[in-house]
Amino acid sequence: MSRLGANGSRAGPDYPDSKILNEMTQATLKQLSQQLAAKQVSSVELAGQYLERIEALNPQLNALISVDREKTLAEAQAADARLAAGSAHALTGVPLVHKDLFCQQGWKTSCGSKMLDNFVSPYSAHVVEQCAAAGMVTLGRANMDEFAMGSSNENSFYGAVKNPWDLNAIPGGSSGGSAAAVAARLAPAATATDTGGSIRQPASHCGVTGIKPTYGAVSRYGMVAFASSLDQGGPIAQTAEDCALMLNVMAGFDERDSTSLERAKEDYTRDLNQSLAGLKVGLPREYFAAGLDGDVARAVDNAVAELKKLGAEAVEISLPNTELSIPAYYVIAPAEASTNLSRYDGVRYGHRAKEYKDLVEMYEKTRAEGFGDEVKRRILVGSYVLSHGYYDAYYIKAQKIRRLIANDFKSAFQQCDVILGPVAPTAAFDLGQLSSDPVQMYLSDIYTLSVNLAGLPGMSVPAGFAANGRPIGLQIIGDYFDEAKMLNVAHQFQQATDWHSRAPDLEVATAQDVAPKKRRTI
């Protein structure tokens, strides 16, 4: 066997057995870190193997929309040099993918939109900088709902992402590409964002682990804005331990972001091995009412039973304003989106219409051509609720409801340590099933939206499968800055179960199996 060289070619007798490398693509972030530190594999070898897997499997999944082999292997070479010099971070040399709304210098950053299809970022987001400083290696850019607006990842200019567990199912959104890439083992970890559940819901539907931290814990600098008071970056990986390692890198104060919280740096792995004895888990009665699918209810019940075996105590709580989270969110988020997206006018950067008579027509045609239907819908709603005569009736009232929702959680955490429940009312639905019914699509976010409105941390942990074989996630919600406690609950649950270690059985698609897509390799 030969070794992968700097350019991905094979030369030398000491290249690890291909079976061993293939098994490494199934390994967790923690395991890969240990193998790299022990020099059982090099970063270049590891990156090369993941790139081969991406080339073989991504055509049928459409999880990644940008791959640059040369850039990736150059980063891997630099990581190997750090490892050899003994100046490595815990995650140096480990590959990941970035959601395509984190600006990354020299890479196209499109936000899944035609509007930014030609935009190559001149700078990097704080999250990307942090990952690069740790020596992590970028494998590519993950597909997503356009400008992070969607719950199914069907709103991308580059085509829908497929769920690795069932290619007829949606992967969830808007971070569907990130979740699908981790589930399919195209990458051991991915960055993602959560505005109303966009980390937790796709993590649930794809059978992986994802965490949305407290608002302000991860800088939004260089993260293309959807709804500024709700957007929050976080990681998706196989396990809670991996997410803790990723959060150690991603979180931290950034003076360039006015919403970044100036707090001491945390080690999110510090409590992973704490006992759950005496832990009180709250079960909101509103989360287990009509509308919850039986398979999801059983999976959550079984998870609660497992945590009880580990010493936790379940208590019933109430979050009475849960049902108001959907109307409040779909006033606040579109209002902020309409403001944030007003900058895309064809003047400074991004798409510009080719033919127009005057400046006004250029604006109109550029935005009509550049934005997809869902983005246009939210811009219209947002502009309406911010308009004269409706601002007080809708936007201000929604903000008052937001405070009521936050107060519900404040009261609940006086009775329990963490809150448990479903992530979504059902397992992943079929591609196209709700495309013509946006309101029904919005209703699928009922259990996740309130966490963003309150600015709380929340996460999804694999907890079983529906009868049709599609994954189901358990949602864990913590009080402000309780990420380490949540991660401990998730880690202990994962030590007692194996849902997180199961992977879909994927085969390389033939050319006729894969529909043509808008795709770019830069």
The pLDDT value given to residue 84: 95
**From 42, 121, 151, 198, active-site residue:** 198
Distance (Å) of CA 124 to CA 109, 143, 342 = 10, 18, 22
Choosing among 3.30.1490.20, 3.90.1300.10, 2.40.50.90, 3.40.50.720, the CATH entry for 18-325+399-501 is 3.90.1300.10
Task: Enumerate the domain spans of the chain.
Answer: 18-325+399-501
Does the pTM exceed 0.85? yes
**From 66, 174, 325, 338, active-site residue:** 174
> pLDDT tens across 192-216, in order?
999 999 999 999 999 999 999 999 9
**From 30, 33, 66, 99, active-site residue:** 99
Which DSSP string do the residues of 58-80 spell out, in sequence order?
A: HHHH--EEE--HHHHHHHHHHHH
Do 260 and 253 contact (CB within 8 A), yes or no? yes
The pLDDT value given to residue 242: 98
In eight-state DSSP terms, residue 257 is -
- The reply to whether 99 belongs to the active site is yes
- Total residue count of the chain as it appears in this document: 522
The pLDDT value given to residue 24: 80
Beta-bridge partner residues of 211 = 459
Beta-bridge partner residues of 418 = 281, 478
Three-class SS state of 475:
strand
Residue type, 142: A
The pLDDT value given to residue 1: 23
Q: Which of 226, 213, 236, 220 is nearest to 96 (CA)?
A: 236
Alpha helices in 110-231 (DSSP H): 126-133, 176-183, 200-206
In eight-state DSSP terms, residue 108 is B
- The reply to whether 174 belongs to the active site is yes
> pLDDT tens across 154-202, in order?
999 999 999 999 999 999 999 999 999 999 999 999 999 999 999 999 9
- Give the end-to-end CA distance of the chain in Å, rounded to a whole number: 30
Radius of gyration of the chain (CA): 22
The pLDDT value given to residue 436: 85
